[in-house]
Structure 1
Amino acid sequence: MTVAVVPAPSTIRDVGTAPFRLAGAGIVGDADAASALRTLLSALTGSSPGGDERTIDLQIEHGGAPESYTLVADETSVVVTGADAAGLFYGVHTLAQLARESTDGWVIDAVEVEDAPRFRYRGVMLDVARHFHPVATVEAFIDRAAMLKFNHLHLHLTDDQGWRVHLDARPELTRQGSGTSVGGDPGGFYTKDDYRHLVAYAAARHVTVVPEIDMPGHTHAVGLAYPELVEAPVLSEHILETVAEFGGDAPAAGVAYDGMAVGFSSLRIGDERAYDFVADVFGELASMTPGPYLHVGGDEALGTDPADFAAFVARATEIIADLGKTPIAWHEAGAAPDLAPGTVGQYWGFVTPTDGMDDAARAFVRNGAPLILSPADAVYLDMKQTADSPLGLTWARGITDARRAYTWEPTAVIDGIGEDDILGVEAPLWTETVRSLADIDELAFPRIAAAAEAAWSPPVGTSALRTWESFRERVGRQAPLWRAQGIGFHRSEDIPWR
């Protein structure tokens, strides 16, 4: 039996009886879970189960590991039991994946599943700064992430190309800094009501929003609104080479930037007004964000003196910690000696680290905090899947096909960083080339499923399911469900699609 479940569960066993037929079945138990299951099965099969011949029973029984569930299906009944609401939600999505069409109609194979997540942080990131994406697109991305058992959405809300969330304390940020995207495309921003809606929409699907305000670099848009807070662009040879390769104008003070170069902008580190700005921005954002994390960025500050950079990220993380939130920063910030205790690091280097990226990442663990792993050459969803794709980039060691996205192990990336040092795995999707939900789907799927498995499932090689050969078969069997949900996935040649 090939079990079409992604991410792979902790254990799954064939019960050996005839399958459970969905026709004539009734759904009972938890109302929210029942509604979610009806929606999933209706999209997949064209009808929702209804009747009383057999039952699908959805229940919460507290006491198990957080987010865990069991699923028992035989010829007469299906019972899904979650240790909490999130666990039951994930069990419902596993049940929908198990549904298949047979000569007897739609059925659920007779199996027993025991499942729980490997890591407590399982994230995806959507960059809404390089290209702005409206509320409906973010909602769809949340739905796609939640069905694969991701539980965090990292929103990259600001960058050189645009500021995407309105704040009453600094209204000029959206008034002056939100109008453009890469390539001169239209910009946009979220009102405070939009942002609160997305937070609530995500929470209803057991997803926590992690907002990122990138500092001290990636801040050119800040200068459009508050020019006194930023330095003049630093036009290094690297910046000019990027402009020559990808087009557009070189960045200029006071002029909206719609190119793809990075590392030329910086806040004025020695100016106290910059820290008033940090306090205003994160203070208001914290009041709208019930989740525990605020992301301060800290990456690619190539135009900032290293000592100034260290002083800034130390003070910025302290401001966030004083708000009662846990700061997250990209791994470069690990070079700073005085980060706020507990600051979580996010590693975006390669599966085999280069240029001291692993040293900076290890510093977070020495400071008493875990790491989020986002190795760019494995889980950056914006890398090209094929050489001829018009979408995506190739700077992370070239093409990232589905097999490369799958065949890595989190505990093997950074020497000295083990299971207990890892908070989780996050798959970022940067949007320099991404304009629409169709573009998001084309780049994310099926590789987002590989990232989900790295975050949820047991380590590579520890079960028959945690192999590339098993994964490609299981993902191939997701095609009917993904199509039913309107997902325009990339039909990778490595996958035997069914």
Structure 2
Amino acid sequence: MALPDSLPLVPHPADVRREEGVIPLDGARISGDAVVAGQLRDALVARTGIRSQIVGEGADAEIVLSVDPAAGAAEGYVLDTLGDGIRITGADAAGLFYGTRTLLQLLQESDAGWAVPRVRIEDAPRFAYRGMMLDVARHFFGVEDVKTYIDRAADLKFNHLHLHLTDDQGWRLEIDSWPLLTERAAGSDTTGGEGGFFTKDQYREILAYAAERHVTVVPEIDLPGHTHAVGIAYPDLVEEPWLSEQSIAEQAALGIPLPVHGEYYRGAAVGHSSVRIHEERTYDFISDVLREVAELTPGPYLHIGGDECLGTPAADFAQFFERVTRIAADTGKTPIAWHEAGAVAGMAEGTIGQYWGSVEPKGSHAEEAAHFVERGGALIMSPSDRAYLDMKPTPDFPLGLVWAGIVPVRAAYEWEPTAVVPGLPAEAILGIEAPLWTETVTSIAAGDTLVFPRIAAHAETAWSPKDGAERTWDSFRTRVAGLAPAWEASGIEFSRSEEIAWA
């Protein structure tokens, strides 16, 4: 007789059948793809201390890993422990990897040792794009920190890491054709840190690490605003800061320093910077930068910003984005832009929009987002009052911001990506992304306290069937509590939210 599903699986699989009994794990032999087998072996050691042996394909093994397109849809897998051992069959290489992540969540410790329950799981993701974003511009994180964040993402079956590489506070990627960007404009950040940047070799190292975990890196060069740092390196490319009386008053009230052209800006205000839209040299700069970033990056996407250009006239913004979306597309990549760029009638066809407005759109936000779809693109949903991980989960939380509101775990869980922008077909939604902006974050450990457990809610929204029997808040809050031992073993400094029934 099948048992009720109460396993700590997040995101919850599409279909789970559970039977009585467990399969003990004690020095299990693993056969199959050497890379995935090695990743699983290392994870088992870290989680349980069990030292597994990798054996050749076809050899006798307790854990058998294989790929068979008949196993389901793209990134799908079947995990079966109802027989004599553990079999994970991926529909493709990514699916096989995700099957091993599910196996790790199934691990149970008892007096008799480590074991996994007897189950058959058939699973595949709901959305093709499942993203996390790390802002390395406001606070710089080095290669090892980014690798740690990739591990966090991959374990929850996220498959994209958006790196916010440039902003007013710093430029974080080496560009050969414009070397002063990192020589002069990388040495500061919002949090009082020393800043920093990735050399091209370091960036390649991140890309390779991500690829081994089936994570696609999406680099962002934010344009035409959020470009104050460019003016530190090349003052002739950037306008004088645009400051309204309101913004001056607001920054004074908060004790935020005003930006000064050509000098480091360590504040957190937005909307005051812009490249010089009517100068041809600006487009030489943009073409060179986007070409170099595209040549470095194997993934299909190139994010070109477009948000919070508060001092840029609409006509100038349109002129800029009509041209720059085409420059980005000419690199062979698909451009992504924040939803404000949807106001531009003539942006390049196929450009993808990233929506960061409220879950109930205000003003023209829904119209701007819908225009990406009308131009043959799609949408990535990141509503700031649900998906922004830098929003405080409680009013008294020591880190984070509140401009989009307080976002408790339940609010992060209970929203529907296809219902935010009215009138769009479900297939217009490419997926979701949960950004971590870092104005208040100085370490991955500090970031963990904002990210976990809310990121698990977004993982389930991105992966699990919308109408699945376990796709409920009551089920989620029980299941995510069961991940606490694994998170502790991984060194994740998660917050023990009072909303979760922690064991």
2:272 maps to 1:269: no
Decide which of 450, 466, 470 is 1:465's aligned counterpart. Answer: 470
- For 1:424 and 1:13, locate their aligned partners in 2 and report how far apart those are by CA, in whole Å: 27
Decide which of 287, 294, 297 is 1:279's aligned counterpart. Answer: 287
Deviation at 1:245, TM superposition (A): 4.4
Q: Which residue of 2 aligns with 1:118?
A: 126
Cα distance change, pair 294–72 in 1 and its aligned pair in 2 (3 A): same
Q: Which residue of 2 aligns with 1:475?
A: 480
Q: Which residue of 2 aligns with 1:308?
A: 316
- The answer to whether the 8 Å contact 1:24/1:53 transfers is no
Amino acid at match of 1:427: A
Deviation at 1:76, TM superposition (A): 2.3
Q: Which residue of 2 aligns with 1:206?
A: 214
Decide which of 133, 139, 152 is 2:141's aligned counterpart. Answer: 133
2:432 maps to 1:425: yes
- The answer to whether the 8 Å contact 1:25/1:53 transfers is no
- For 1:35 and 1:324, locate their aligned partners in 2 and report how far apart those are by CA, in whole Å: 34
Q: Which residue of 1 aligns with 2:450?
A: 443
- For 1:378 and 1:123, locate their aligned partners in 2 and report how far apart those are by CA, in whole Å: 14
Matched ranges for 1:39-78 at <5 A: 39-49=42-52, 55-63=62-70, 64-74=72-82, 76-78=84-86
Deviation at 1:239, TM superposition (A): 2.4
- The answer to whether the 8 Å contact 2:26/2:50 transfers is no
- The answer to whether the 8 Å contact 2:139/2:191 transfers is no
**Cα RMSD (Å):** 1.5
User: What are the Cα deviations for residues 128-165 of structure 1, in whole angstroms up to 9, with x where unaligned?
Assistant: 00011111110000010011111111000000000001
Decide which of 3, 26, 29 is 2:7's aligned counterpart. Answer: 3
Decide which of 162, 182, 187 is 2:190's aligned counterpart. Answer: 182
Matched ranges for 1:88-167 at <5 A: 88-167=96-175
Q: Which runs of 4+ in 1 moved over 3 A?
A: 49-54
- The answer to whether the 8 Å contact 2:235/2:262 transfers is yes
Matched ranges for 1:179-258 at <5 A: 179-258=187-266
- For 1:107 and 1:450, locate their aligned partners in 2 and report how far apart those are by CA, in whole Å: 26
Cα distance change, pair 247–184 in 1 and its aligned pair in 2 (3 A): farther
Amino acid at match of 2:11: P
Decide which of 376, 392, 413 is 1:406's aligned counterpart. Answer: 413
Deviation at 1:75, TM superposition (A): 6.1
Comparing 246-255 with 465-474, which one deviates more in the overlay?
246-255
User: What are the Cα deviations for residues 116-136 of structure 1, in whole angstroms up to 9, with x where unaligned?
Assistant: 011111111100000111111
User: What are the Cα deviations for residues 335-372 of structure 1, in whole angstroms up to 9, with x where unaligned?
Assistant: 00110110000000111111211110000011111100
- For 2:278 and 2:386, locate their aligned partners in 1 and report how far apart those are by CA, in whole Å: 37
- The answer to whether the 8 Å contact 2:41/2:53 transfers is no
Q: Which residue of 1 aligns with 2:401?
A: 393
SS at match of 1:311: helix
Deviation at 1:224, TM superposition (A): 0.7
- For 1:109 and 1:231, locate their aligned partners in 2 and report how far apart those are by CA, in whole Å: 62
Q: Which residue of 2 aligns with 1:31?
A: 34
Amino acid at match of 1:337: A
Deviation at 1:74, TM superposition (A): 2.6
Q: Which residue of 1 aligns with 2:17?
A: 13
- The answer to whether the 8 Å contact 1:183/1:248 transfers is no
SS at match of 2:462: helix
Percent of pairs with identical residues: 57
Deviation at 1:375, TM superposition (A): 0.6
SS at match of 1:143: helix
- For 1:225 and 1:197, locate their aligned partners in 2 and report how far apart those are by CA, in whole Å: 26
TM-score, normalising length: structure 1:
0.97
- The answer to whether the 8 Å contact 1:146/1:205 transfers is yes
- Which structure 2 segments of 5+ residues have no match? none
- For 1:22 and 1:140, locate their aligned partners in 2 and report how far apart those are by CA, in whole Å: 27
Deviation at 1:242, TM superposition (A): 3.9
- For 1:239 and 1:190, locate their aligned partners in 2 and report how far apart those are by CA, in whole Å: 32
- For 1:106 and 1:321, locate their aligned partners in 2 and report how far apart those are by CA, in whole Å: 51
SS at match of 1:184: coil
SS at match of 1:139: helix
Deviation at 1:102, TM superposition (A): 2.3
Comparing 288-297 with 52-61, which one deviates more in the overlay?
52-61
- For 1:371 and 1:49, locate their aligned partners in 2 and report how far apart those are by CA, in whole Å: 43
Comparing 323-332 with 413-422, which one deviates more in the overlay?
413-422
- For 1:244 and 1:407, locate their aligned partners in 2 and report how far apart those are by CA, in whole Å: 37
Q: Which residue of 2 aligns with 1:485?
A: 490
- The answer to whether the 8 Å contact 2:165/2:220 transfers is yes
Aligned residues: 494
- The answer to whether the 8 Å contact 1:464/1:470 transfers is no
Q: Which residue of 2 aligns with 1:497?
A: 502
- The answer to whether the 8 Å contact 2:138/2:191 transfers is no
Q: Which residue of 1 aligns with 2:93?
A: 85
User: What are the Cα deviations for residues 287-329 of structure 1, in whole angstroms up to 9, with x where unaligned?
Assistant: 1011110000000000111110011011101001111110000
Deviation at 1:374, TM superposition (A): 0.4
- For 2:228 and 2:323, locate their aligned partners in 1 and report how far apart those are by CA, in whole Å: 21
User: What are the Cα deviations for residues 243-286 of structure 1, in whole angstroms up to 9, with x where unaligned?
Assistant: 23442311111111000100000111111111111101101111
SS at match of 1:495: coil
Deviation at 1:25, TM superposition (A): 3.1
- The answer to whether the 8 Å contact 1:18/1:75 transfers is no
- The answer to whether the 8 Å contact 1:371/1:424 transfers is yes
SS at match of 1:58: strand
Comparing 382-391 with 122-131, which one deviates more in the overlay?
382-391
Q: Which residue of 2 aligns with 1:323?
A: 331
Deviation at 1:183, TM superposition (A): 4.0
Deviation at 1:40, TM superposition (A): 1.6
SS at match of 2:217: strand
Cα distance change, pair 468–181 in 1 and its aligned pair in 2 (3 A): same
- For 2:115 and 2:360, locate their aligned partners in 1 and report how far apart those are by CA, in whole Å: 44
Amino acid at match of 2:74: P
Deviation at 1:392, TM superposition (A): 0.4
Q: Which residue of 2 aligns with 1:380?
A: 388
- For 1:76 and 1:327, locate their aligned partners in 2 and report how far apart those are by CA, in whole Å: 49
TM-score, normalising length: structure 2:
0.96
- Which structure 1 segments of 5+ residues have no match? none
- For 2:170 and 2:250, locate their aligned partners in 1 and report how far apart those are by CA, in whole Å: 19
Comparing 243-252 with 340-349, which one deviates more in the overlay?
243-252
User: What are the Cα deviations for residues 94-129 of structure 1, in whole angstroms up to 9, with x where unaligned?
Assistant: 000001112322111111101001111111110000
- For 1:161 and 1:280, locate their aligned partners in 2 and report how far apart those are by CA, in whole Å: 21
- For 1:36 and 1:233, locate their aligned partners in 2 and report how far apart those are by CA, in whole Å: 49
- For 2:191 and 2:152, locate their aligned partners in 1 and report how far apart those are by CA, in whole Å: 27
SS at match of 1:182: coil
